[in-house]
Structure 1
Amino acid sequence: MTVLTMDAAALPPAAKALYDEMAARRNARGEHFGGPYLALLNHPELARRIEALGFFLKFEGVLPRDVYQFVVLTVAKSTGAAFEWQDHVEHARAAGLPEALIDAVGSGDATALPAPYDLVHAVLAKTLTWQEVPDDLQAAIETSFGPEGLVEIVVLSGFYQMFAAINQGFGIGLPPKT
């Protein structure tokens, strides 16, 4: 399906060393590593920079874990990125995202989301359709999560839209079930 090397063991030595480094860093946080990064490791410097941003957003950002996972699942659902959905749904549960909320995102029903997810979803409704987030919505998000949280929500939307393109563009299969 792709001309790229998608087997970590078959990567050139420098890319394999980078894979091992990134995988160890993720594994130390209890996270699986692979999927789209295998495609990205065909361009090691790009993979290194994207993984660094992803690691920061996932593990060092200001957003609460449940909100982070809500963003990821919402983008995954909106873009049809099955890999991202399956890769994150258990993490969403572990982060305390209520099952009813996960089901609502999975079914595409955003009619009765509780706070603050309703505001986050409203931001994503704009970013996923490439529209400007209105000032009043930005202000409401900033009140809940500060200016850094507002920026992270918008960046996460774009980050996971990028991963949807990578996963779908290179036919990345579903991650192993854990």
Structure 2
Amino acid sequence: MRLPPLDELTPRQAEISERIASRRGGTRGPFLVWLRSPELCERVEALGAFCRFESSLPLRLRELSLLIAARHFDAAYSWNAHADKAVEVGIPAESVQQLAQGVTPDFGDDHEAAILYRFSTEVLEKHFVSDETFAAGLAAFGEQGLVDLIGSLGNYSMLAMLLNTFQVDLKPGWTEPYPDVRGFAKVAPETATPA
């Protein structure tokens, strides 16, 4: 990581870190960067928690939206943290592999996943969505679902930019999910200090 470890936390940082750890099982990865700005960290963590745990979108689609943003920004940490979770909650492993390879995934009979992929990809790549894609998204997810999807994509995009800018280390044993992007296959060392 580009920043040194946080050896001593201020009382405010410690308070926020404890809250994050109680909800997420530890303070690691991006939160070790966000804590440099405690008030932003608190708000970002709350938004992230909503997007992951409380959004109106079904869990499999929440995980898929995270992977779409992670792949768009080539954010290896997010990808590694969620690729298996997406499969566990119903996104086909083949679709996840295709997404990692930069290929349009075939979601089979999961029309909602296909619509979410098309909607998300259009907004991330073109910065707009076509009338046809908007109508399909609205029919599939409703007004609240579309608003939650945009919130999720914004949150996960911000997360990806932070992970990439500060070069947050992969967890020990994780591999670079798309080595062609940076021209090397990176494997996090087994001896790295766990976050």
**Where on the TM-score scale, by shorter chain, does this alignment land: which range?**
0.7 to 0.9
1:2 matches 2:2:
yes
Q: Does structure 1 conserve the Cα–Cα contact (< 8 Å) formed by 2:122 and 2:129? A: yes
* Residue range with higher mean Cα deviation, 144-153 or 9-18: 9-18
Q: Distance in 1 between matches of 2:51 and 2:151?
A: 9
1:57 matches 2:51:
yes
Q: Does structure 1 conserve the Cα–Cα contact (< 8 Å) formed by 2:95 and 2:105? A: no
Shift in CA distance, 36/54, structure 1 to aligned 2, threshold 3 Å: same
Equivalent AA in structure 2 for residue 129 of structure 1: E
Shift of 1:150: 1.0
Q: Does structure 2 conserve the Cα–Cα contact (< 8 Å) formed by 1:6 and 1:39? A: no
Equivalent AA in structure 2 for residue 175 of structure 1: K
Query: Which structure shows the bigger proportion of residues in helix conformation?
Result: 1
2:63 is matched with 69
Q: Structure 2 stretches of 5 or more lacking a match?
A: 175-195
2:117 is matched with 121
CA offset digits 1:31-61 (Å, max 9, x no partner): x542111111111110001111111111111
Please report the TM-score for the alignment, with normalisation by the length of structure 1. 0.87
Task: Give the alignment's Cα RMSD to 1 decimal.
Answer: 2.0
1:24 is matched with 22
Q: Distance in 1 between matches of 2:162 and 2:154?
A: 12
After the TM superposition, list the runs of 4 or more consecutive aligned residues in structure 1 that deviate by more than 4 angstroms.
none
Q: 2:149 aligns with which of 153, 158, 163?
A: 153
Seq. identity, %: 29
Please report the TM-score for the alignment, with normalisation by the length of structure 2. 0.80
Q: Structure 1 stretches of 5 or more lacking a match?
A: none
